[in-house]
Amino acid sequence: MTDSAQATHEVEIDNSNRSTTPQTAGFARYISAHWADRPEPLPDPRPAAPYAARRRAALGARFPGERLVIAAGAMKQRSNDTFYQYRPHSAFAHLTGWGSDAEPGAILVLDPAIGDPATGDPAAGSGDAAHDATLYFRERAGRDSDEFFADPEIGEFWIGPRPSLAQVSAALGIRTAPLAEFAAGDSDRTLDDAELARAVSELRLVKDSYELAEMQAAVDATAGGFEEVLAALPRASAHPRGERVVEGVFNQRARLDGNAVGYETIAASGPHACTLHWIRNDGPVLEGDLLLLDAGVEMDSLYTADITRTVPVSGTFSEVQRRVYETVLEAADAARAIVRPGIRFREVHEAAMAVIERRTREWGLLPETAEGDDTAYHRRYMVHGTSHHLGLDVHDCAQARRELYLDGVLEPGMVFTIEPGLYFQPDDLTVPEQYRGVGVRIEDDIAVTEGGCVNLSAGIPRTAAEVEDWIRRAQSRA
C-alpha cells in the first residue's frame, strides 16, 4: 500500500492561480477567533454496529494472524476540481456500518490481537475475536488551521463540519485514530489481494436481520418512486425527452428517502426497452408504447433495491403487449415457486428459461431443431441471466467463487433478484412485425427463508390487470 491509499481525494487540486482567499497572518487570526462554543455530544451506537462487529470477527477467522486493511477509498474525480458524490467501498461499509456519511480516505485495519498475557487467549482484548479493529480517518480540523477555511476539498467552510474521532468511535463501536497515524506493512492483505476480495464478497452472501430490514426499507422507498413515476406519465408524454422526466421523478424520491439511486436508472420507453442497460434516457414516452423502469433506492446504509416494472404508457396493454407481459410474469412466478433452501442458485434461472423456451416455441419464433441439437435459440430474446445477488451492491457478492454463487446452494438470508424478460429488437426479422420493438422485464427482490422465500417487492403490482389499475389510481391522485 502506498501513500496514495491515505488520500481523501483521487487527485490533489491546485487552485492557487485563481484563489482570492486572504493569505495574511492578520486574516488567519481573525477568522480563527470569535466563534461560539460548539457542543459535541457523543451519538448513540448505530443499529448496524453489533452486526458489523460479528462480520469483522467472521472475516478475521478466515485470516488468523494476518493484518487486514480495508480502505473506504478516495473521492473520485468527475472533472477538473469537481468530484462525484462520495460512496465508500461496499466491503468497508459492511465491516464498519459506516454508510453514506463515511469519511473519504478512511481505512479499517484488523490487526492480529495481542491477547491476554496472563492466559494467552488471542481474543481476550478485542470485540473482533482474533483481531483488533482500528478505524483511521482524517479528523476534523481545528478553527486555528488554514484547512478550516481555505481547503475546498475538506475545509468546514466548504463541505461542512466533519465528525470527530470520538463521535465515530461511539457510533460504530470501533477504536479510531487519525489517518496520519496509519502505517502500511509489507505483509498487509488489502482489497487488491484476490483472496481477501473474494472473502469479503462471500461474507455478504447471507444477510443478517439488520441487512434484511434495510433491504425491505429500500424496496418500500422504491415502491414510492414507482408510484410517483406513474402519476407523472402524462407530463413525461408531453416532453420530447420524456424518459428524463421519468428518471428525474424517481431519482428525486431516491434522494428524499435514501442516499441516492443504487445504480443508474433505466427509463426505457418503446424500443429502448430492448436495450438491456439503457441509461441515456433521452427518448420520448409515447402513447401506445411500453415503459420499462428498472430502478432502486439506495438507503443511507447503502443497501439498495433493484426493481423492474413494465407499464403501458396509455394505461392499457395491447393484445401483443399483454401476451408478452404475461409470459414474462409466468416465467418469474415459475422461478420464484422453486426457491427454497437446498436448491442450487442456477436452478432459478433454469426454471424461468423453461417457460421462455416453451412460449416462444408455441408462438413459432424458434427454428425447427434436429435431434441432438440443444442450442438455446430462445436466448436470442433474453440474453441476460434471471437472477443476481443483491445487497450493498446492486450486483452483490460478484467476486464470490462460482461454486458458492451460480452453483451455490441456497441458504436462509440470501437475497437476489428474479428478473426474466423478453426483448424483440425493432429490426429482428425472426419475429412477426407486431412483436418488434416490444421489450418487457419484471423484476422482484427475493429473500430466502427457512421454509421457502418471501418476495420483498410483492406489494408493487405485478399482474397485467393490477398494473393497469395501478396506473389509473396513481394518476387519479396526481
Which CATH number does the domain housing residue 177 bear? Answer: 3.40.350
Let me know whether 116 and 138 are in one domain: yes
Higher-pLDDT residue of 2, 457? 457
* Whether residue 337 has pLDDT greater than 60: yes
What's the confidence (pLDDT) of residue 147?
Answer: 84
Largest CA distance in the chain: 90
Let me know whether 344 and 218 are in one domain: yes
Let me know whether 98 and 223 are in one domain: no
What's the confidence (pLDDT) of residue 115?
Answer: 60
Let me know whether 360 and 440 are in one domain: yes
pLDDT in tens, 118-156: 444 444 444 456 899 999 999 888 888 888 888 888 888
Let me know whether 244 and 133 are in one domain: no
> Mean pLDDT across the stretch 182-187?
94
Q: How many domains does the chain fold into?
A: 2
What's the confidence (pLDDT) of residue 94?
Answer: 98
Residue 36, all three cell numbers: 461560539
Q: How many angstroms separate the Cα of 11 from the Cα of each of 14, 17, 107, 319? A: 10, 17, 18, 55
pLDDT in tens, 362-376: 999 999 887 788 899
Q: What is the pLDDT confidence band of residue 6, given thresholds at 50, 70 and 90?
A: low
For the whole model, what pTM was predicted? 0.94
Q: Which of 19-28, 53-62, 89-98, 399-408 has the weakest average pLDDT?
A: 19-28
Let me know whether 178 and 102 are in one domain: yes
Of 172, 202, 232, the domain-final residue: 202
Let me know whether 459 and 385 are in one domain: yes
Of 150, 167, 202, the domain-final residue: 202
DSSP string of 314-380, one letter each residue: TSS--HHHHHHHHHHHHHHHHHHHT--TTSBHHHHHHHHHHHHHHHHHHTT-SPP--TT----GGGG
Mean pLDDT of the chain: 93
What's the confidence (pLDDT) of residue 161?
Answer: 87
What's the confidence (pLDDT) of residue 157?
Answer: 84
Let me know whether 361 and 276 are in one domain: yes
> Mean pLDDT across the stretch 398-423?
98
Which CATH number does the domain housing residue 232 bear? Answer: 3.90.230.10
Let me know whether 215 and 166 are in one domain: no
What's the confidence (pLDDT) of residue 273?
Answer: 98
Let me know whether 183 and 72 are in one domain: yes
Q: How many angstroms separate the Cα of 372 from the Cα of each of 71, 360, 368, 426, 442? A: 52, 20, 12, 32, 32
Residue 471, all three cell numbers: 396506473
Q: 191: domain range?
A: 3-202
What's the confidence (pLDDT) of residue 361?
Answer: 96
Higher-pLDDT residue of 30, 125? 30
Let me know whether 195 and 296 are in one domain: no
* Whether residue 215 has pLDDT greater than 80: yes
Of 202, 218, 249, the domain-final residue: 202
Q: What is the pLDDT confidence band of residue 4, given thresholds at 50, 70 and 90?
A: low
Let me know whether 372 and 429 are in one domain: yes
DSSP letter (8 states) at residue 65:
T
**Rounded percentage of the chain residues whose pLDDT exceeds 90:** 81
